[in-house]
Every structure is written in C-alpha cells, then in structure tokens.
Amino acid sequence: MLGVRALFGIGLLVTSRGGSVLTHTGACARVASNIYSKDLAHRQACTMANTIKYLGQEEAQHIDEELFNEYSFSVDQLMELAGLSCATAVSKGYPLQSLLKSPPRVLVICGPGNNGGDGLVCARHLKLFGYEPSVLYPKRPNKQLFQNLTTQCEKMDISFLTEMPEADVVDEVYNLVVDAIFGFSFKGAVREPFGDILSQLKKTTVPIASVDIPSGWDVEKGCPDGIQPDMLISLTAPKKAANHFKGRYHFLGGRFVPPALEKKYQLNLPQYPGTDCVYQLN
Amino acid sequence: MNHSSNEKEPETIEPLRYLSKTEVATVETELLRDYRFGQQQLIEIWGHACAIAITKAFPLSSLSKKQPTLLVVCGPEQNGSIGLVCARHLRMFEYEPTIFYPKRSPQSLHQDFTVQCEKMDIPFLSYLPTEVQLLNDAYNLVIDAILGPETDLKEVKEPYAGMLVTLKQVKIPIVSVDVPSGWDVDEPAKDGINPEVLISLTAPKKCATGFSGKHFLAGRFLPYDIQKKYELNLPEFPGTECVIEL
C-alpha cells in the first residue's frame, strides 16, 4: 500500500485541506481504503471496549461550535437532520396505529432557541409521516432561519396555538407532547411563559418526548421534581442529564458526527442500523 | 402507479406526473420564495435521500470489490452540491466515496459542502482518468451528479463534455442524480450516458418516462399544497421512508 511520502515521491499530490488530493485512481483507492479501514477498526474497537460518552454542558457547546466553525456545517443542515431524527424516534415509540386518540394529534412546544427550531422541523416531518401536530411557539427569535421554519410549518397546515392549553385539555386532545423548549445551552432560571408551560406539563398524563434535554432540567445533574418525559431523543451524543432519565425510550439522533470529531471527543457512538437516523439506546 | 386510467373510478390511482424543465424551475422557485425553504436545507434533504436510495440499489453486501468504493462525480451547480451531500452521507453509511469535483462553485453555500466532505476525510481526485479501466477497477459504481435540470445544455463546456464521454464507456454501474447528465430534461437522450439507476428528486422528470433501469423517487418534504397544485400524484412513502422505488 502506498504511503503518503511515497505518493509525494512519485509526483502525486496530497493536500490535507482545501484542494485536490490524488491524481492516480488506483493509488487513490488504496489510500482511501487506508483512511477508511483505520476509522472503522478504531470505531469497532471503541464500541466493543467502551460505552457511549455522556457529555457535560461545556463539552456539548464546544462540539456544537466545532461543527459550525471547523466543519462548516450550517444550522439549517444540522437542524433538518436533528428534527428528522426526532420525528423518526417519535414514530418508532408511538406508531400511528398505536395512538389512542383520533385524529393523531401531537402538541409540539417550541422554545426560544435552537431546541425550538429542532421542534419546528420535527413538527413538519411528523405531519409528513401522517401525524397531526400543533405547535406552541410563544417566544420566536428574530432570525431568518426561525421565521422560515415557521412559514414552512404554517404552509403545511400545521396550526399554531396562541397559548398553552391546561393540563386536562392536553390530556383530552393530544396523544403526546414533544418538548422542544430548552436544550443543552439552558442555564439558570426559567423565564415566562415557560415556567407556566412546564408546570402544566408536570400535570399532564400523556407521554412527553423531550428533544435533547428534558426542559427545565440541569443539563448535567437532572431535576428530580422537573418534568418526567417518557422519551428522550439525545442529539449528537447524550448529555449527563440523561443519566437521570427514567422514561421508557432513550433514542440517539443527529447522525452527522464526522468520524474525526467523534474520535477527538471520544464519543464512542454506537453504530446506527443501516441508514436509520436514530439509534435506540435502551 | 404509472398506468393511466380513462374512467373516473373512485378507486383509481392517478398517474404519477413527470415534470418538464420549466415546471421543475417553477416548483423550486415556489419552495424557496413562498414556502421559505432554504437552499442549503433542500440540498441537504436531497443529498441525504439520494444516499439512502443508493444503499437500496447497491447494499454494502452486494458490492463486488473488496472495499465499498464509489466515485462521486460532481458538476459546478446544484446537482454537484447534492452529490457532495450524498457523498457525505454515504460515508456515514460506511461506504468509501471518492469525489471528483473539477469546477467548484464560487458560492459560499456550495463551498461549505466541499469543506464538510474534506473534513470527513473523503478524498478528492484532481483529474478523471480517461483510461476507463482504472475506473472500472477502482470503484464499484459511479454516482453521476454532474448536470441537473437547472443546466442549460447549450452552455455545457469542458471538462464536462469529456467526462461524459468517459462515463459512457465505463463498465461499472452509473447512478444518476435527478437527471442523467447530458440528457434533455424533457426527452430521453438517444446517445447520452446510460445509467443503470436513476434517482429522481422530488418528482420524476419527463426524460425519465420509460426509463428502463431501476428508478427511485427520493426526497420526502413536499408540502401537500404543492403536490396538489401541480397534480404530482406522488406515491405513498412507506412508514418514515424518504425513498420509494418506482
């Protein structure tokens, strides 16, 4: 197998970034398989020896920054994949035919940040999967991305509520609640109207599916008297709060982590089945 | 699904619509302008769905070479960017893509897709060998993401004309993204490249009528309003799938 030095030696160009790599197809295939087989072997070794890593808040923030800065992903792209994972996890945990109430109504509560954006994308895909989502989006960021995602939902005939229904109304009307209020950046006190929303959610009996972090929980320590979701969809990698999760379904979603990033943070991500964008952790 | 019916029976399945070049452009304009989809968002959706379709057409276990190598040939416009996203997802799905992307779009939006691939350690070729045997030996298949429905065929210059000549001679299967490169969107080409698999994005194009190879529809995101407005009569995707074989 030709090493990198040999390729330089015989006049083939190998650059690390921003340019073309190889000129000879045959050599290319050999070097490619060299790159690829090392990664696969490493990952197989990792998942055999170690379990998946649970991230602290700072680590989660660093990984996020790297994805956007170093890896040049756009928020649009990753939010689309994250929202799709959430909708897919919901379909697996609560298949249409298993729902008790008809029509298959789902309440999606979106917070003021990226977690809310994930919720908007999730709602749109749930609609395409045959569910009837309604969105509560009380505090909307003044950014184009969120306005666009809102329009996309509205144009799919997804209704937007003007206020949070009382717990007994939620129980009567909806089959489940998707909690996309706060994510891994959450710190400090809960501002209204989310305090009131969370207290209603603590009283509802329908299952709650939380996106990334059960809202209101400390991202690392959890929250014994916070909401108790039935499903948690961890995005990218689970956060430490997930150690306190006691619900039935814990899914991993957000299948976009580049192998180099996974290695750097030793995430030990499991191997997703086939082309699935979710992996059931429990 | 593709049969047409003359009687107005309630049980009849309406035929799937094949779009013309103008209709494709109109639908996309509406998606961006009225429905406020983002271009990067759409390209991500298409590239992801494309990759899934490829895994259905050529599962890892079905590939004959020792390594699951494939060559993704990317053109300068949107079709090429879809190819880049597709390559990235194929990498996540454990395939070993190599990219050939001779003329890179200057738009930063498309440059981001390139960086994302480079950072996944996906190799980029600096030229496409004209010795077809090299391609046949190195790769299991070629993903043709060169020219799409947005291309003005009269404007196609080198290196694309030469690349298409090479692709016409490869013995390994070609998978075309959206339209076989070089084909007129509205008519099947008589002497163009001959892909084994066609992955139509959003809705099939007129040139795909009577396509004899494997034909997939990929991309599950179209609002019902648009589907109704253009009478697309898209088939029902099973479960949460975003790809369906036509």
Count how many pairs of residues, chain A against chain B, have C-beta atoms within 8 Å: 128
Torsion angle defined by CA atoms of residues A216, A221, A225 and A229, in that order, rounded to the nearest 10 degrees: 60
* Per-residue model confidence as pLDDT tens digits over A252-273: 999 999 999 999 999 999 999 9
As its CATH architecture, domain A57-280 has 3-Layer(aba) Sandwich (3.40)
| Cβ–Cβ below 8 Å for B67 and A36 | yes
Partner B contacted by A215 (CB < 8 A): no
* A194 in a labelled binding site: no
DSSP assignment of A130-193, as one string?
T-EEEEE--S--S-HHHHHHHHHHHTTT-EEESSPPPHHHHHHH-SEEEEES--TT--SPPPTT
Dig out the tokens for A195 from the structure.
């305090």
Q: Decide: B188 and B207 in contact? Cβ < 8 Å.
A: yes
The partner residue sitting opposite B38, judged by closest CB among A26, A32, A148, is: A148
| Cβ–Cβ below 8 Å for B92 and A255 | yes
pLDDT band at A276 (very low <50, low <70, confident <90, very high): very high
* A118 in a labelled binding site: yes
- Three-class secondary structure of residue B112 per DSSP: helix
Of the residues B45, B103, B126, B202, the best mutation for testing chain A's interface (the one with the most A CB atoms within 10 Å of its CB) is B126
| Cβ–Cβ below 8 Å for B69 and A256 | no
User: In this structure, which topology does domain B21-245 adopt according to CATH?
Assistant: Rossmann fold (3.40.50)
Cβ neighbours of A39 (radius 10 Å)? 19
**B220 vs B57: CA distance, rounded Å:** 18
Average pLDDT of chain A to the nearest whole number: 88
Hey, which residues 25-54 in chain A have their CB within 8 Å of chain B? Answer: 25-26, 28-29, 31-33, 35-37, 39-40
- Which pLDDT score is estimated for A40? 60
Q: Decide: A122 and A96 in contact? Cβ < 8 Å.
A: no
**B116 vs A70: CA distance, rounded Å:** 9
* CB contacts, 8 Å: B38 with chain A: 76, 145, 148
Q: Which residue type is seen at A182?
A: F
Can you tell me which residue has the tokens 């229904």? Answer: A165
**At CA A259, angle to CA A277 and CA A46, rounded to 5?**
90
Question: How far separated are the first and last CA of chain B, in Å rounded?
Answer: 8
* Per-residue model confidence as pLDDT tens digits over A55-99: 999 999 999 999 999 999 999 999 999 999 999 999 999 999 999
The partner residue sitting opposite B44, judged by closest CB among A37, A72, A77, is: A77
* A242 in a labelled binding site: no
Least confident of A14-23, A117-126, B110-119, B143-152: A14-23
Position A26 pLDDT exceeds 60? no
Dig out the tokens for B53 from the structure.
């379709």
- Which pLDDT score is estimated for B213? 95
Q: In 3D, which of B113, B100, B107 has the Cα closest to residue B47?
A: B113
* A189 in a labelled binding site: yes
Q: In 3D, which of A170, A86, A160, A100 has the Cα closest to residue A129?
A: A86
Which of the residue ranges A17-21, A164-168, B128-132 has the most confident prediction, judged by mean pLDDT?
Answer: A164-168
Residues shown for chain B: 246
- Which pLDDT score is estimated for B153? 85
Q: Decide: A261 and A67 in contact? Cβ < 8 Å.
A: yes
Q: How far is B11 from chain A (nearest CA, A)?
A: 21
- Which pLDDT score is estimated for A1? 41
Q: What is the ipTM of this complex?
A: 0.92
Share of chain B above pLDDT 90, in %: 82
Q: Decide: A185 and A116 in contact? Cβ < 8 Å.
A: no
* A11 in a labelled binding site: no
The model scores a pTM over 0.95: no
Q: Give the CA count within 13 Å in the CB-facing half-sphere of A225.
A: 1
Q: In 3D, which of B88, B108, B101 has the Cα closest to residue B46?
A: B88
* Per-residue model confidence as pLDDT tens digits over B193-234: 999 999 999 999 999 998 999 999 999 999 999 999 999 999
Q: In 3D, which of B206, B154, B218 has the Cα closest to residue B180?
A: B206
**B194 vs B183: CA distance, rounded Å:** 10
Dig out the tokens for A151 from the structure.
């329009």
* A212 in a labelled binding site: yes
Position B16 pLDDT exceeds 60? yes
The partner residue sitting opposite B125, judged by closest CB among A20, A77, A259, is: A20
Dig out the tokens for A277 from the structure.
């964008």
Q: Where are the beta strands (DSSP E) in chain B?
A: 69-74, 96-100, 124-125, 141-145, 174-177, 197-201, 214-218, 243-245
Partner A contacted by B37 (CB < 8 A): yes
Searching chain B, which residue's CA lies closest to the CA of residue A278? B240
The interaxial angle of helices B39-57 and A75-93, nearest 10 deg, is 50
- Which pLDDT score is estimated for A15? 38
* A216 in a labelled binding site: no
Q: In 3D, which of B141, B152, B153 has the Cα closest to residue B177?
A: B141
Nearby residues of B26 by Cβ (< 8 Å), 6 or more positions away? none
Mean pLDDT, residues A37-56: 68
pLDDT band at A140 (very low <50, low <70, confident <90, very high): very high
Hey, which residues 246-275 in chain A have their CB within 8 Å of chain B? Answer: 255-256, 258-260, 274-275
- Which pLDDT score is estimated for A30? 52
* A175 in a labelled binding site: no
Can you tell me which residue has the tokens 């890179």? Answer: B104
Round the CA-based radius of gyration of chain B to a whole number and report it: 18
Position A18 pLDDT exceeds 50? no
Alpha helix stretches (DSSP H) within chain B: 21-33, 39-57, 78-92, 108-118, 132-138, 160-169, 224-229
The partner residue sitting opposite B116, judged by closest CB among A73, A129, A259, is: A73
Which carries the bigger pLDDT value, residue A35 or residue B147?
Answer: B147
Which of the residue ranges A17-21, A27-31, A192-196, B104-108 has the most confident prediction, judged by mean pLDDT?
Answer: A192-196
- Which pLDDT score is estimated for A3? 37
Q: Given strand A176-180, what is the order of strands in its sheet?
A: A159-161, A132-136, A105-110, A176-180, A208-211, A231-235, A249-253, A278-280
Can you tell me which residue has the tokens 């697309």? Answer: B232
The partner residue sitting opposite B119, judged by closest CB among A35, A70, A147, is: A70
**B98 vs B87: CA distance, rounded Å:** 8
Q: In 3D, which of B234, B240, B218, B239 has the Cα closest to residue B55?
A: B218
Q: How far is B86 from chain A (nearest CA, A)?
A: 12
* Per-residue model confidence as pLDDT tens digits over B37-58: 999 999 999 999 999 999 999 9
- Which pLDDT score is estimated for A188? 86
* CB contacts, 8 Å: B35 with chain A: 151-152, 155
**B177 vs B174: CA distance, rounded Å:** 10
Searching chain B, which residue's CA lies closest to the CA of residue A91? B240
Q: In 3D, which of B138, B197, B192 has the Cα closest to residue B165?
A: B192
